[in-house]
Structure 1
Amino acid sequence: MTIITTGDNVRLHVEEAGSGLPVIFVHEFGGDHRSWEPQMRFFSRRYRCITFGARGYPPSDVPEDVAAYSQSRAAHDIADVLSGLGIDKAHVVGLSMGGFAALHFGLDFPDRALSLVAAGTGYGAEIEHEAYFRGVSEAVAANFLEQGSELFSLTYAEGASRVQFQSKDPRGWAEFQRQLGEHSALGAANTMRGVQARRPSLYALEDRFRAMQVPTLVIAGDEDDHCLQPGIFLKRVIPACGLMVMPKTGHTLNLEEPAAFNAALAEFFAMVEAGAWRPRDPRANPAQIMRTR
């Protein structure tokens, strides 16, 4: 265990295992550094694996001021963790909130990303649902503060894209729910208000994504409805982007389907390291249905 102090003096809890090329795992809103255990165990056999608790997630610091939380700060926290460990470049893997952070890291620090994985990424990005997402984010923040994490976790963990995990793996889901119930209510509320509710839509970043050359893999569950269209959008605008859709799967991809998730990442990393994950062939014109001449 290591403590890394960020540029704005927030201490982050960091854990690592293994040796080799670095891979850093960035957790979702409903998870924490423990959520990546299936990946830490699998990939540390051949990589230097890093996971950390985001600000607001003990044992990392929980700043009391919501102004200390933002999408930009989340991307910079990844950079600060890598710098604190003496790492120049890494594969960056994020789920949901962590996927947004990974994408913003690729935009802000492209020279420091070997590759990007954005799994379950898209909530709040759809323009038609933007107002609803901001409203429900505020309601979630208020519920954490009013009910406390232990009680509200019982509700949050049974969301429409979480029940797939519960049905497939009740024991794994119960561990996820229990760990969620251990989170700081203040940290959860500030994260929801400062990061989730205020982050820019992915669609507003189209020009920047089109210019980003980092090899990228987007993964979505086919029952994680609000990540499907954003996933297709990212596939279309990021030059070296692949899209994987996992069948009969919800939001908590890395825990719900760990074997398939790990296999996809392993293949992706190998392709990137071989220089074989390239931008889309210009002959693959999406406007063409069949070639006639």
Structure 2
Amino acid sequence: MSVAEATAPIREESTSRFVQTKRWKLHYNEAGQGHPVIFLHGTGPGASGWSNFSQNVAPLAKTHRVITLDSPGWGKSDVFDCTGESRNGANAQAVALLMDELGIDKAAIVGNSMGGAATLQFMADYPDRITHAVTMGSGVFAMPNIFSPGGGPPQGFKVIVETYRDPSPENFRRLVEVMVYDSSFVTDELTKERSVNALAVKDHLANWLKWPMGNPKGPYGDLEHLLGKLASTTVPTLMIHGRDDRTVPMETSLRTSAIIPNSRLVIFNRCGHWAQLEHAAEFDRLLLGFLNQYPVA
């Protein structure tokens, strides 16, 4: 790598890549060198790997090979109707297939919301291929009374569904507003980015609405298998949750972290569902420290 390449800004266009896997054509962004760290975005219209994690790529890419993936059915990846299939199982499979094509044996997996749930599923389904697990605003949603301890879907999830049904500019602003604690993050640029991404592939919107969580049995399919695997895993796990998260209650991470033996939970004060955005610098320091605490042989 030349000096010019090493110092050039990391942009979406210059890092954009496609790969044909055995099941889907997947889009991802890649920067840096070192042990691979794969970022998995959350659900919601207009979500993508880059939109969720663009602010975190450069700090991590100084020491790691950073990959932000568009899950099947989002962003520039293939259209995917997961009706009758576990959404988290499919998302975890997509990571494994991506790693196969890129020649990656093991990686650290970092996921926000749905991406965090896919991280936990990957840890259960492919335990020998994950070195570190990190989730933000996530957990095992399917545990009884954990997704909505107050009764009914949380406010953020209601807004997600409403925006899928009516992807209007007004609803996209509501979507961003409910995801953050600090209203200064609700910018015209961010709301427009989500809207443009969502409307670029309208089949993504229609397919999500067929069954928002995928499998009629729930997003995990075999919940007993998942919980059993998580209870016996030795993978170092870091869970981060915003105290003011209006999409996934903080209690979700509290209960999930209690299941995983080698886990820790960090609560960010004055923080909504996007910890990696609202507290980007603190998140980056915490993530790098965690990765360095458990070096890969």
How many Å apart are 1:189 and its aligned residue? 4.5
Q: Could you tell me whether the CA contact under 8 Å between 2:141 and 2:252 is conserved in 1?
A: no
Partner Cα distance (2:120, 2:287) in 1: 16
Report the counterpart of residue 209 of structure 1 in structure 2: 230
CA separation of 1:106/1:123 partners in 2, compared to 1, >3 Å: closer, same or farther?
A: closer
CA drift at 1:73: 0.5
Matched residue SS, 1:38: helix
1:229 Cα deviation from its structure 2 partner: 1.3
Query: 1:220–1:244: 8 Å Cα contact kept in structure 2?
Result: yes
1:33 equivalent in structure 2: 49
Q: What amino acid is aligned across from residue 28 of structure 1 in structure 2? A: G
Tell me the distance in 1 between the aligned counterparts of 2:177 and 2:69.
25
Is 1:176 the equivalent of 2:197?
Answer: no
Letter in 2 for 1:255: L
Q: Which runs of 5+ in 1 are unaligned?
A: 276-293
Please report the TM-score for the alignment, with normalisation by the length of structure 2. Answer: 0.79
Please say if residues 4 and 80 of structure 1, whose CA atoms lie closer than 8 Å, have aligned partners that are also in contact: no
Q: Match for 1:148 among 142, 147, 167?
A: 167
Question: Do 2:22 and 2:97's aligned partners in 1 also have CA atoms closer than 8 Å?
Answer: yes
Aligned to 2:277: 255
- Pick from 169, 193, 200 the counterpart of residue 220 of structure 2: 200
Match of 2:177 in 1: 158
- Whether contact under 8 Å (1:71, 1:195) holds in the other structure is no
Distance 1:224 1:136 in 2: 8
- Letter matched to residue 271 of structure 1: Q
Once the two structures are superposed, residues 160-208 of structure 1 have per-residue CA deviations (whole angstroms, 9 ceiling, x without a partner) of xx2414x24344xx43322221214431443365463631399854322
Q: How many pairs were matched up?
A: 268
| Residue aligned with 2:238, SS | strand
**What's the CA shift for 1:84?**
1.3
Structure 1 equivalent of residue 32 of structure 2: 18
> How far did 1:230 drift?
1.7
Aligned equivalents of 1:232 and 1:4: distance in 2? 36
2:176–2:186 contact (8 Å) kept in structure 1: no
What is the rounded CA distance, in whole Å, between the counterparts of 1:229 and 1:264 in structure 2? 21
1:231–1:243 contact (8 Å) kept in structure 2: yes
Q: For structure 2, which runs of at least 5 residues remain unmatched after alignment?
A: 1-15
Quick one: which amino acid aligns to residue 103 of structure 2? G
Give distance in 2, aligned partners of 1:190 and 1:247. Answer: 35
Question: 1:50: Cα distance to partner?
Answer: 0.5
Which runs of structure 2 are paired with 1:90-105 in the superposition (5 Å)? 90-105=107-122
The answer to whether 1:239 aligns with 2:253 is no
Aligned to 1:230: 252
Partner of 2:286: 264
Q: Any conservation in 2 of the 1:151–1:181 contact (CA below 8 Å)?
A: no
TM-score (norm 1): 0.80
CA distance in 2, matches of 1:27, 1:141: 17
Counterpart CA distance in 2 for 1:194 and 1:33 is: 22
| Stretch of structure 1 that moved more, 148-157 or 70-79 | 148-157
Match of residue 94, structure 2, among 68, 77, 89: 77
Q: Tell me whether 133-142 or 21-30 shows the greater mean CA deviation.
A: 133-142
Deviation at 1:265, TM superposition (A): 0.1
Q: State yes or no: 1:187 paired with 2:204.
A: yes
Shift of residue 155, structure 1, vs aligned partner: 2.9
Identity percentage of aligned residues = 26
8 Å Cα contact 2:180/2:273 also seen in 1: no
Are the counterparts in 1 of residues 163 and 175 from structure 2 also a CA contact under 8 Å?
A: no
Superposition RMSD in Å: 3.0
